[in-house]
């Protein structure tokens, strides 16, 4: 199940569960108050009957001055639950019948246990219903995501044939020296499409990430060697001590490839791309054109150059969120850009 599906499932479940639990809890609370009131009335009725015969082991009896208390009224205090009744042919005193507070609390606790048990059973039913509701509510989203993914995968697959044809014909056209500049522009456009294709494919395949351990230094040296072959006019350098990472290697490589490609693509002739490690922060620094609005660089479709479609860094940001890598950018026009990747959440050992 994808991250967005899990998030939707949890939110739907919690929304239904919390709302129903609050409603049922309020109903149980009101019912509990009524039950306590009914318990008090039942005790008072027993006291009233007992006042005639005085043969009740449940209650204690005492005589008090008549004017102090109102007759036929139930009183609660810290020591007891009591009521007062008239004594035939006695005007100065009244009969006090009372139930010790400890006995009363035992009766209330018994009532509470019953209410809590019933409420727990209802909560269990609500949990089951909430899960069923969440699965049902998630179904349209899952179907839409599946259709979208199938459509994108079909499109990506269909890209291969025309792109292969274009690359084959371009290699044939390179014989004509007068067309080299135009051919170079076409090659750059094809490279952008291929890069976008790889980003989309990696993004789709990252739905269930396989966690693995690998060497940061080995990955960086391998990717830099690959980039050096494509950008021979750029000087790459790696100043990184070894660190073992525990995350999805394929997605991590896509992040590095995107950042290295941008650092080389938008660099000046004979420019530099420097990779360095500061604690758990990997920095990719270039001597390129810089970014005018660094705060917008991760926005979808935002771009400051004519090349590209403005989605590469947006996907990089998504990949970083998926791998729990904190990414930030610093840039100054005509001086260069620094991308910082905080790897503390995926670092295993140094």
Whether 33 has a pLDDT exceeding 90, the answer reads yes
Pair of tokens at residue 109: 């606790």
CATH code reported for the domain at 210-349: 3.30.565.10
- Indicate whether 179 pLDDT > 60: no
Query: Average pLDDT for residues 208-226, to the nearest whole number?
Result: 86
Query: Is the confidence at residue 22, as pLDDT, over 90?
Result: yes
Instruction: Give CA separation, 250 vs 195, 201, 202, 205, 211, in Å.
Output: 14, 11, 8, 10, 10
CA separation for the pair 80, 100 (Å, rounded): 4
**Least confident segment among 116-130, 146-160, 253-267:** 146-160
Q: 308: phi > 0 → left, psi -120 to 50 → alpha, else beta; which?
A: left
Which structure tokens are listed for 4?
């967005």
Inter-residue contact 216 to 275 (CB < 8 Å) = no
- The secondary element (H helix, E strand) that includes residue 239 is strand 235-239
Q: What is the arithmetic mean of pLDDT over 216-238?
A: 88
80 vs 301 pLDDT, higher one? 80
Where are the domains positioned within the chain?
3-136, 210-349
CA 8 distance to own-chain centroid: 9
Q: Label residue 233 by pLDDT band (50, 70, 90).
A: confident
As a whole number of angstroms, the distance between CA 240 and CA 276 comes to 5
Tens digit of each residue's pLDDT (9 = 90 or more) over 90-144 = 778 888 889 999 988 998 999 999 999 999 999 999 999 999 988 888 888 777 7
* Residue 307, pLDDT score: 61
pLDDT at 208 over 60: no
Cβ atoms of residues 329 and 296 within 8 Å:
no
For all residues of the chain together, what is the average pLDDT? 83
d(CA 333, CA 111): 74
Question: What are the beta bridge partners of residue 275?
Answer: 238, 284
pLDDT of residue 216: 92
């Amino acid at each position: 199940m994808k991250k967005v599906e899990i998030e939707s499932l949890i939110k739907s479940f919690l929304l239904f569960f919390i709302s129903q639990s609050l409603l049922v809890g309020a109903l149980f609370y009101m019912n509990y108050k009524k039950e306590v009131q009914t318990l008090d009335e039942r005790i008072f009725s027993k006291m009233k009957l007992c006042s005639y015969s005085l043969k009740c082991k449940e209650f204690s009896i005492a005589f008090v001055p008549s004017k102090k208390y109102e007759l036929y009224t139930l009183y609660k205090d810290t020591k007891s639950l009591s009521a007062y009744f008239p004594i035939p042919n006695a005007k100065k005193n009244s009969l006090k019948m009372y139930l010790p507070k400890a006995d009363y609390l035992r009766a209330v606790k018994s009532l509470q246990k019953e209410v809590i048990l019933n409420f727990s059973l209802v909560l269990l039913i609500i949990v089951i219903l909430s899960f069923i509701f969440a699965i049902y509510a998630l179904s349209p989203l899952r179907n839409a995501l599946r259709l979208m993914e199938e459509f994108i995968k079909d499109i990506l697959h269909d890209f291969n044939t025309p792109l292969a044809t274009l690359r084959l014909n371009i290699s044939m056209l390179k014989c004509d020296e007068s067309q080299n500049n135009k051919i170079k522009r076409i090659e750059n456009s094809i490279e952008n499409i291929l890069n976008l294709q790889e980003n989309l494919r990696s993004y789709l395949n990252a739905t269930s990430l396989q966690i693995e351990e690998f060497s940061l230094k080995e990955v960086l040296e391998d990717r830099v060697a690959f980039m050096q072959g494509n950008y021979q006019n750029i000087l790459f350098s790696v100043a990184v001590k070894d660190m073992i990472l525990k995350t999805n290697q394929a997605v991590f490589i896509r992040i590095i490839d995107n950042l290295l490609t941008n650092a080389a693509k938008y660099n000046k002739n004979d420019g530099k791309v420097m990779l360095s490690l500061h604690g758990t922060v990997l920095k990719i620094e270039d001597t390129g054109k810089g970014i005018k609005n660094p705060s917008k660089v991760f926005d979808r479709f935002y771009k400051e150059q004519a090349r590209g479609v403005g989605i590469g860094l947006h996907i990089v940001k998504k990949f970083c969120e998926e791998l729990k890598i904190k990414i930030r950018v610093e840039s100054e026009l005509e001086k260069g850009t620094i991308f910082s990747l905080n790897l503390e959440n995926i670092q295993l050992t140094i």
